[in-house]
């Protein structure tokens, strides 16, 4: 059996190690951070994950569905918070359909345990990947803190080491390697709403809360302990930006003006805001994802996306299943397996990257629009009348495993149908009104 070296013990790397170990391969996982299960976790910036059908399907392959759902909070729709006026709930799909809010750290720990249980998997924490030796088939690493004690890890290398991947960095130095990174002009900052008395949630727990403000927005997702992870998406520079919110007074004025209903829920708001770091949001595209049978990339290492469709982890998990399937089809021809894996996944990675960017503008600017709500309502009605023919885009992405690229094409066609129907109804209503007023 082929030996593998996985760079990165995050979500994709841990799942890939578990799948390979269960298939009988010997796997060594190299991770820069300390083992998060020991409690010695680096301070970091993390957005709660939304695990949906694609991710659950992948997790079921290693028997984790029930345990993950047990630590998740189901979200059945969006709860829109205007500056003034009543809240508005927008369901994601049919009754019972929900995405699942999960803490990234908790999911990562469960996946690491699953990798160790798979057998043939060795986890090496506190070691930083620094280079590849493709001729010898090895990954080079050093101790993360000291930069000393170099080691060579022999095997087929899988780069699952995130958006700023060291493995991809080596590939970028090769001729004819295409790479792009596009940062949003917006960053994000996390805050927290603590639970109420006896651990009771202080907002509706089974909804994704959104404060759309046109140009920026805030979101909140529930945790199982009754708290909420709050994420503010704001421009780095300019009016209403992180650069402007540099004093406690400025922070308090901004939140009182834009998010008045959230202020009582955020104790110590100004202090937490000013002390918490600002994260960046990047879309990364690259090709090729592999070099012969020596190295291959997955997840953010080859296609990082912004988080606004909740599909980053789900897409990485689909990568893992596609790569495992390709290796199973061609156990003695790893280069062919890698080629088929990339041919299947790269068009879908490009599609979900585009959809995530579009959804950012939708959530920030359009969810409060009456016309947007009318279009969404028309889509729900058509789905109920013709469930096999008409599937809303969000349903296809979150509640099916239709390939992302196929879902995007289908959604464009359906959007034309919805707008055509609404136009016909508007004309008919206008004609009827005209006849009544004659």
Residue whose C-alpha is closest to residue 27's, from 18, 36, 39: 18
- What Rg do the C-alpha atoms of the chain give, in angstroms? 23
CA distance 194 to 242: 23
How crowded is residue 34: how many other Cβ atoms within 10 Å of its Cβ?
15
CA distance 406 to 125: 39
* H-type alpha helices, 211-329: 248-258, 269-275, 300-303, 312-329
pLDDT by 10s per residue, the chain, length 438: 579 999 999 999 999 999 999 999 999 999 999 999 987 555 444 568 999 999 999 999 999 999 999 999 999 999 999 999 999 998 887 888 999 999 999 999 999 999 999 989 999 999 999 999 998 899 999 999 999 999 999 999 999 999 999 999 999 999 999 999 999 999 999 999 999 999 999 999 999 999 999 889 999 999 989 999 999 999 999 999 999 999 999 999 999 999 999 999 999 999 999 999 999 999 999 999 999 999 999 999 999 999 999 999 999 999 999 999 999 999 999 999 999 999 999 999 999 999 999 988 777 666 556 666 666 666 677 777 777 778 889 999 999 999 999 999 998 887 777 667 666 766 766 767 677 776
Q: Token pair of 99, please?
A: 């995405």
Q: Token pair of 244, please?
A: 């402007």
Q: Token pair of 166, please?
A: 């060291």
- Contact call for residues 321 and 341 (beta carbons, < 8 A): no
Q: Token pair of 107, please?
A: 């999911």
CA distance 372 to 300: 31
Q: Which fold has domain 3-74+97-181+282-359?
A: FAD/NAD(P)-binding domain (3.50.50)
Q: Token pair of 380, please?
A: 């729900």
- Contact call for residues 344 and 303 (beta carbons, < 8 A): no
- Which residues, at least 6 apart from 145, have a Cβ–Cβ distance to it below 8 Å? 126
Q: What are phi and psi of 228, to 5 degrees?
A: -130, 135
Report the interhelical angle of 334-361 vs 404-437 (nearest 10°): 30
Instruction: Look up the pTM and report it.
Output: 0.90
Quote the distance between the C-alpha of residue 74 and its chain's center: 16
First vs last C-alpha separation in the chain: 83
Q: Token pair of 41, please?
A: 């976790």
Tell how strand 217-222 and strand 208-212 pair up. antiparallel
Q: Token pair of 163, please?
A: 């958006």
Residue whose C-alpha is closest to residue 16's, from 59, 63, 72, 52: 59
């Amino acid at each position: 059996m082929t030996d593998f070296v996985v760079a990165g013990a995050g979500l994709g790397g841990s799942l890939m190690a578990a799948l390979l170990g269960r298939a009988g391969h010997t796997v060594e996982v190299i991770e820069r951070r300390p083992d998060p299960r020991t409690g010695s976790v680096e301070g970091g910036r993390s957005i709660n994950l939304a695990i949906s059908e694609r991710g659950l399907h992948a997790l079921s392959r290693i028997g984790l569905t029930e345990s993950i759902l047990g630590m998740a909070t189901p979200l059945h729709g969006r709860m829109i918070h205007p500056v003034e006026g009543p809240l508005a709930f927008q369901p994601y799909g049919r009754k019972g359909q929900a995405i699942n809010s999960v803490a990234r750290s908790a999911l990562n720990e469960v996946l690491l345990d699953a990798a160790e249980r798979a057998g043939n998997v060795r986890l090496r924490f506190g070691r930083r990947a620094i280079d590849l030796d493709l001729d010898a088939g090895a990954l080079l690493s050093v101790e993360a803190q000291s930069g000393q004690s170099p080691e060579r890890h022999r095997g087929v290398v899988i780069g699952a080491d995130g958006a700023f991947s060291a493995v991809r960095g080596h590939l970028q130095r090769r001729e004819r390697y295409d790479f792009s990174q596009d940062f949003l002009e917006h960053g994000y900052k996390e805050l927290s709403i603590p639970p109420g008395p006896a651990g009771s949630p202080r907002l509706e727990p089974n909804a994704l809360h959104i404060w759309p403000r046109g140009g920026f927005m805030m979101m909140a997702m529930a945790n199982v302990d009754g708290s909420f992870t709050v994420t503010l998406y704001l421009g780095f520079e300019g009016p209403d930006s992180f650069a402007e919110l540099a004093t406690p007074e400025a922070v308090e004025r901004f939140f009182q003006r834009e998010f008045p209903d959230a202020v009582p829920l955020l104790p110590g708001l100004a202090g937490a805001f000013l002390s918490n770091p600002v994260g960046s949001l990047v879309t990364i595209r690259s090709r090729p994802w592999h070099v012969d049978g020596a190295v291959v990339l997955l997840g953010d290492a080859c296609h990082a996306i912004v988080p606004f469709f909740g599909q980053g982890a789900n897409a990485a998990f689909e990568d893992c299943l596609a790569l495992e399937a390709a290796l199973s089809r061609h156990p003695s021809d790893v280069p062919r397996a890698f080629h088929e894996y990339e041919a299947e996944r790269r068009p879908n990675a490009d599609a979900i990257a585009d959809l995530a960017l579009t959804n950012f503008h939708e959530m920030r600017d359009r969810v409060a629009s009456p016309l947007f709500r009318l279009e969404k309502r028309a889509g729900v009605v058509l789905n109920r009348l013709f469930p096999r023919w008409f599937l809303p885009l969000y349903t296809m992405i979150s509640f099916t495993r239709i390939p992302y690229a196929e879902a995007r094409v289908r959604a464009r066609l359906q959007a034309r149908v919805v707008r055509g129907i609404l136009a016909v109804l508007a004309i008919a209503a206008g004609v009827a009104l005209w006849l009544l007023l004659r």
